[in-house]
Amino acid sequence: MRLAHHIGGRAGEAQSAPLFAFGPEARLAAYRIFHADAFEWLAQAAPCSVHAVVTDPPYGLVEYSAKEQEKMKNSRGGVWRIPPAFDGCKRRPLPRFTVLKEEDRENLRVFFRRLAERLMPVLVPGAHVFIATNPLVSYLAYEPFIAAGLEKRGEVIRVVHTLRGGDRPKNAHGEFPQVTVMPKSCWEPWGLFRKPCEGRVQDNLRKWRTGGLRRISPDEPFKDLIYSSPARGRERRLAPHPSLKPQAFVRQIVRAALPLGEGVILDPFMGSGSTVAAARACGLESIGLEASAEYFQMAKKAIPALARLKVKESGGDGKPIPRNSGDG
């Protein structure tokens, strides 16, 4: 098992306070990251040791294999495609989910069933799981999660303008100028699940510090619609992962995930470490796992820098992101 690399940050290191600092408790928090396979790591993790999961798993399953990563880097077919450039800008590759066959879909169901089954004993009662997905494949993750005993608690909708969909029929643009084959995708669903509570929510909060979601402020609950632009510029240079999630968004999710700001957040598929960095910036303890040596090294470098970033509190869509002003 690859658990050789483990690196952690010191709690409360002196740093300038990021914009997403939530009250006096918010300071850069401790984290641990492991170069490890998530399933192997979870199999040996202590029972009831994780208080929330925030993760963005692989969906093509094959898209992070060495073969598909090579094809992506060489722009040579495979599950990654370069969206057409329409404004002179170079587009980043996106995994192509429409090429999934029934066998791939079954593999995804098995993957999420194994994930949910491995997570269940490691989570404390009342722990929430936020899982990034997309409208084409979300059902393949949700159903096995529910079958494994997790409660579906809704979905968080990230309003984000991606380059998916909206195309005219391939090789027949001129013939069918008025047709779009699929809607242009403007949102990303994040499935929200919870391990059942022990007793009432209030009992669970007292015993395990979980069961609910942290409010934005005493007057404002956490909401399931968040405007967010894709990660760009400085963030992307710090963490050039093809699936990087922006700090402005992930910080809102990790903050909500621990209702009392106590406990450990796990990202079993951390990529370049955006969840761990967000947790660190919000003063929340976290653990990140990554199977790829290349992305693990990227995360090692990127997490401290991403955590120090001051991020704008407005979405790139010109809509405001609700202010996470802190309870304290």
By CB under 6 A, name the binding residues for ligand SAM.
37-39, 56-58, 64, 239, 241, 243-245, 268-269, 271-272, 274, 289-292, 295
- Helix, strand or coil, per DSSP, at residue 150: coil
Residue 197 vs 250, nearer CB to ligand SAM:
250
Nearer to ligand SAM, 22 or 269 (CB): 269
Q: Closest by alpha carbon to 164, among 222, 111, 230, 119?
A: 230
Residue 22's nearest CA partner among 279, 312, 305, 292 is: 279
Burial label, 183 (beta-carbon count in 10 A; 0-12, 13-18, 19+): exposed
Closer residue to ligand SAM (CB): 39 or 139: 39
**Residue (67 or 323) nearer to ligand SAM, CB:** 67
Closest approach, Cβ 208 to ligand SAM, in A, equals 26
Q: Are 181 and 164 in contact (CB under 8 A)?
A: no
Q: How far is the CB of 283 from ligand SAM (least distance, A)?
A: 20
Residues 6+ apart with CB under 8 A from 70: none
Q: Report how far apart, in Å, the C-alpha atoms of 262 and of each of 66, 135, 155, 205, 326 are.
A: 37, 32, 23, 10, 14
- The least CB distance from residue 243 to ligand SAM, in Å, is 4
Question: Measured from the CB of residue 158, what is the shortest distance to ligand SAM in angstroms?
Answer: 12
What is the C-alpha to C-alpha distance for residues 298 and 294, in angstroms, rounded to an integer?
6
Residue closer to ligand SAM, measured from CB, 239 or 258: 239
- Min CB(244)–ligand SAM separation in Å: 4
- What residues have CB less than 8 Å from 166, skipping those under 6 apart? 180, 182, 183, 184, 185
C-beta atoms surrounding 234 within 10 Å: 12
**At its nearest, how many Å lie between ligand SAM and the CB of residue 272?**
4
Which of 118, 194 has the CB closer to ligand SAM? 118
**Min CB(172)–ligand SAM separation in Å:** 32
Q: Which CB atom, from 215 or from 251, has the smaller least distance to ligand SAM?
A: 251
